[in-house]
Amino acid sequence: MAKKYPVQVKVNGKMKSAEVEPRLLLVHLLRDEFDLTGTHIGCDTSQCGACTVMLDGMAVKSCTILAIQADGAEITTVEGLGSREELHPIQQGFWEKHGLQCGFCTPGVMMAVNGLLQENINPSEAEIREALDGVICRCTGYQFIVKAVQHAAELIREQQSQPVSLENVTTRGDVS
C-alpha cells in the first residue's frame, strides 16, 4: 500500500486531519473520512459538478482535486452553508422556488451558485445559465434552478443592505 501523508484542513469552520494516500480525491476525503456525505459524486470525468465545494473561497470540483492538494485549505461543504434552523439564502431560494427534485445534484449546484453570487450579486438569466455550465441536473430542466438563483440573489442583496456581507458566507460560524 502506498505511503500515507498527513492532511489538515478546516472544514465548515472545524479543523480536521487525516492520513491519506497521495491519490485520494478530496471528495473521498470529505465523504469517506470526514463523513460529510452531502457532497456527491455524479461522474468520473469532472463534468457534473455534484461534488462542488468552496475551497479557499472558490467553487471547485472536489473530485478533481487530490486531498493532499487541499492541505491547509479552508473548505465549505453544503453542510456548512446553512442549517435547517438558519438556511443560507441560496438554500432558501432553492427551497422556495422548487430548485430541486431528487436533490442529488443540489449540494454541488448550490455551491456553484455560491461561487457565482460571490462575484455577481445581480446576475441576468443568461449569466445564471452560463454559470451553471459546470453542473448537470437531470431532474429540473434548470428553469426553477434559475428562479432559485434569482430569488437567492435578491435575498442576499436585501441582506447586504444590512450588516452581514456575502464575503463571509463561505464558512458559516466564521461570519464576522
Partner 1 sequence: MTQVIGKPIKRKEDPKLITGHGQFTDDIKLPGMLFATMKRSRYAHAKIKRIHTAEALKLPGVMAVYTGKDVQDKIKPIRSIWLVPGCNLIPKDRIPLAVDKVNYAGEAVAMVVAESRYIAYDALELIDVEYEELPVVVDQEAALAEAAPVIYDDVPKNIAFTWKAGDVPEEVFINAEVVVKQRLVEQRVIANPMETRGAVASYNPGSGDLTIWCTTQNPHIHRITYADALGIPETKLRIIAPDMGGGFGAKIAVYTEEALVGLAAMQLKQPVKWVEGRQEHFLATSHARDQVITTELAGTKDGKILAIRAKNIANLGAYLSTMGAGVPTIDFGLMVTGAYDIPYAQAETIGVYTNTTPTDAYRGAGKPEASFQIERMINIFADKIGMDPVEVRKKNLVAKVPYTNAMGCNYDSGDYHGTLAKALEAIDYVGLKKEQEEARKNGRLLGIGISTYVELCGLGPSKVAGAIGFGGGLWENSSIRVHPSGKVTIFTGASPHGQGEGTTFAQVVADKFGIPLEDIEFVSGDTLIISMGWGTYGSRTTPVAGGALSIAADRIVEKAKIIAAHELGVPLEDVEFAKGIFSIKEQPDQQRTFKEIAWSANNAWNLPDGMEPALEGQSFFDPPDFVYPFGAHICVVEVDPDTGMVELKRYVCVDDVGRIINPMIAEGQVHGGLAQGIGQALWEQSVYSDKGQLLSGTFMDYAMPKARFFPMIESSFIESPSPVNPLGAKGIGETGTTAAPSVIVNAVIDALAPYGVKDLPMPLTPEKVWKAIHERSDGQ
Contacts to ligand FES by CB under 6 A: 41-43, 46-51, 61, 63, 100-106, 137-140
> Binding to partner 1 (CB under 8 A): which residues in 27-56?
28, 31-32, 35-45, 47-48, 50
Q: Which of residues 95 and 175 has its CB atom nearest to ligand FES in the complex?
A: 95
Residues 42, 47: Cα–Cα separation, whole Å: 8
With CB cut-offs between 5 and 8 Å by kind, which of partner 1, ligand FES, none does residue 89 bind?
A: none
> Binding to partner 1 (CB under 8 A): which residues in 69-108?
77-79, 81-84, 87, 91, 94-96, 98, 100-107
Contacts by residues 22-26 (CB-CB < 8 Å, ≥ 24 positions apart): 22/66, 22/68, 23/66, 24/66, 24/67, 24/68, 25/62, 25/63, 25/64, 25/65, 25/66, 25/67, 26/53, 26/55, 26/62, 26/63, 26/65, 26/66, 26/67, 26/69, 26/70
With CB cut-offs between 5 and 8 Å by kind, which of ligand FES, partner 1, none does residue 151 bind?
A: none
With CB cut-offs between 5 and 8 Å by kind, which of ligand FES, partner 1, none does residue 154 bind?
A: none
- Which residues, in sequence order, are CB contacts of 90 under 8 Å at separation 6+? 81, 82, 110, 113, 114, 117, 148, 149, 152, 156
> Considering the rule CB under 8 A, would residue 4 count as an interface residue with partner 1?
no
- Contact track, partner 1, 103-142, x by CB under 8 A: xxxxx--x--------------xx-xxx-xx-xxxxxxxx
Q: At what angle do helices 106-119 and 143-160 cross, to 10 degrees?
A: 50
User: In angstroms, what is the minimal distance from the CB of 162 to ligand FES?
Assistant: 31
> Considering the rule CB under 8 A, would residue 174 count as an interface residue with partner 1?
no
Q: Which residues would be at the binding site for partner 1 (CB under 8 A)?
A: 1, 21, 23-24, 28, 31-32, 35-45, 47-48, 50, 77-79, 81-84, 87, 91, 94-96, 98, 100-107, 110, 125-126, 128-130, 132-133, 135-146
